[in-house]
Structure 1
Amino acid sequence: MPRKFLVPTVAALSVAVTTAAFSGGHGSPEEQVIGARNALMTLYGFNSGILGGMARGNVPYDAESAIAAAENLAAAASMDQMHFWVPGTDNVAMEGKTRALPAIWETPDDYAAKNQDLADAAAALVATAGDGVEAVGAGMGQVGAACSACHKAYRGPRI
């Protein structure tokens, strides 16, 4: 898909996921929120996978593709996530349906800061993704650190 279509596609997908979550999709309202949240994480993972594959040398570096994936990642990371983190959608309240720990709602400022770290790292990667595989690797190091910090603090097992 040409780069000029990728960011609008991510935006449209995000709107569609959010609309489905609040318009009577399948499952309870809590399950719909979790589904929307999982869709966002899938977008993160998909675009990070493209960039990480390039950084590791598993995928040939392509500047246009790297820029598009970085822009998509930044667009997803900068979305307002207010509707994705509804109280009562943690792994204790929704056994077996999510890995989100209750700590997200107990320490919202720390969670917000970690989320901002990801948005900042993704925005920085947009600026350098076209500068070569080494630049992608460095940027993905920052993105990975932001993801890891949040997952260590706020992602647990499905229980």
Structure 2
Amino acid sequence: MKPRSVFGASLICSFLAMPALAQENPEIGQRQGQFNLIVHNFAVLGGMAQGRVDYDADLAQTAADNLFHITRHDQSRLWPEGTDSDSVEGTRALPAIWENLDDFVSKFGALQDAAEAVQAVAGDGLDALRPAVGALGGACQACHQTYRAEAG
């Protein structure tokens, strides 16, 4: 089976296996998918910045390019009211998102800016990458502290 066919089959299987929550509120599964892609690419960069993964300029640049584009995905339809952790199971999105949507959007804008800054330096060496990845992590954390429930 060709790699693209394997990917396609995996993607189809993952959609078939989605819980009823995603069927009732597909936006939850869609936004979680987007954030999973962010985590996937951030892990590459974070691993390099922390010295757990050898620095590879091409791999760093690819992950940073991915992050830039993922954070540019239109979020407007992914956050309908009633898809918070108090309203449905299977999400960690706190109701505070909808209570202070302007701040939430601002924090996502900071994530976009940080992703752009990482993209600009990812291939320029570890010394350039580390502070940009730190700022990206800070942008993630700023939103999580206010708008994401603890796991558990």
Could you tell me the TM-score, scaled by structure 2's length? 0.83
Residue type of the alignment partner of 1:52: G
Q: In 2, distance between residues paired with 1:119 and 1:104?
A: 18
Q: In 2, distance between residues paired with 1:158 and 1:58?
A: 25
**Could you say which residue in structure 2 is the equivalent of 1:120?**
113
**Could you say which residue in structure 2 is the equivalent of 1:52?**
46
Q: In 1, distance between residues paired with 2:61 and 2:88?
A: 37
* SS of aligned partner of 1:82: coil
Matches within 5 A, 1:22-41: 27=20, 28-30=23-25, 32-41=26-35
Matches within 5 A, 1:139-158: 139-157=132-150
> What is the Cα deviation at residue 78 of structure 1?
1.4
Q: Cα RMSD (Å) of the superposition? A: 2.2
Deviation readout 1:78-102 (Å, 9 max, x if unpaired): 111112111110000003x110000
Name the count of aligned residue pairs: 138
> What is the Cα deviation at residue 29 of structure 1?
3.2
The runs of 5 or more residues in structure 1 that have no matched partner are 1-12
Residue 144 to residue 158, structure 1, CA distance change in 2 (3 Å): closer
> What is the Cα deviation at residue 33 of structure 1?
1.2
The runs of 5 or more residues in structure 2 that have no matched partner are 1-7
**Higher gyration radius (CA):** 2
Residue type of the alignment partner of 1:100: A
- Asked whether the equivalents of residues 50 and 66 of structure 1 are also in contact (C-alpha less than 8 Å), the reply is yes
Residue type of the alignment partner of 2:114: A
Matches within 5 A, 1:9-158: 27=20, 28-30=23-25, 32-95=26-89, 97-157=90-150
User: Once superposed, which parts of structure 1, at least 4 consecutive aligned residues long, lie more than 2 Å away?
Assistant: 25-29
Amino-acid identity (%): 43
* SS of aligned partner of 1:36: helix
Residue type of the alignment partner of 1:70: A
Q: In 1, distance between residues paired with 2:101 and 2:128?
A: 32
